[in-house]
Amino acid sequence: MTLPAVALAAAVVGAVVAAGLMHLRAKRAAAARKAADVSNLAKLENYQLILDTIDRSNILLWWARVSREGSAYVWKIRTPPQLHENPIYRLASLIGEEGLWKHEQAPDHVRTGQAAEKALSEGAGGYQHEFRIIGSDGMHWLSEEVMIRPAGPNAWNLAGVIVDVTKRH
């Protein structure tokens, strides 16, 4: 074989190898995308199961971003989306991002606010308390456990779990 023929053969072999490598890379990428789609679908199904469970339980989860502006604490509360059947959520007269309960529904509102502000001002990692809520079907006792994490100067992220403990009272 002459030099040009060897170079031509090497170029052809190189092109075939390169095409094969590109094909393998494309197949691996497609397989990785498919695996990611399956993983994302499983995560979505798990998320939906968790939401369905919370929606039908006597437990309410909430999150809040709290900031201190002067001597006042400003609350922005969130709950899981699409709660329709949750018994505690149904008690809540959601009044926007400032709170879950209307003042007339929460006879202990001042005391619960003071407990939260005390924990925030003392740098506590959380707090727990019980309070009453007046629902359309009567008085309910709720137990709340809250975790506090600093989010910057005069700002905190809170995560709370509320459980209906009326049967204990």
Please say whether the beta carbons of 130 and 165 come within 8 A.
Answer: yes
pLDDT at 94 over 70: no
Give the Cα separation of 86 and 140 in Å (integer).
14
Q: Quote the tokens at residue 90.
A: 């149904």
Residue 102's nearest CA partner among 92, 110, 90 is 92
Termini Cα distance of the chain: 98
Cβ-count burial 87-96 (b if 16+ within 10 Å, e if not): bbbebbbeee
Rounded to two decimals, the pTM is 0.66
Distance CA 158, CA 148 (A): 5
Cβ(141)–Cβ(164) under 8 Å?
yes
- Residue of 104, 99, 106 lying closest to 141 (CA atoms): 106
Measured over the CA atoms of residue 89, residue 91, residue 97 and residue 99, the dihedral's sign is negative
Structural contact between residues 134 and 110, judged by C-beta atoms closer than 8 angstroms: no
With cut-offs at 50, 70 and 90, classify the pLDDT of residue 158. very high
pLDDT of residue 97: 46
Query: What's the pLDDT tens digit per position in 10-37?
Result: 566 666 666 666 777 888 888 878 777 7
- What sign does the CA torsion over 108, 111, 103, 62 have? negative
Residue 99: predicted pLDDT: 62
Total residue length of the chain: 169
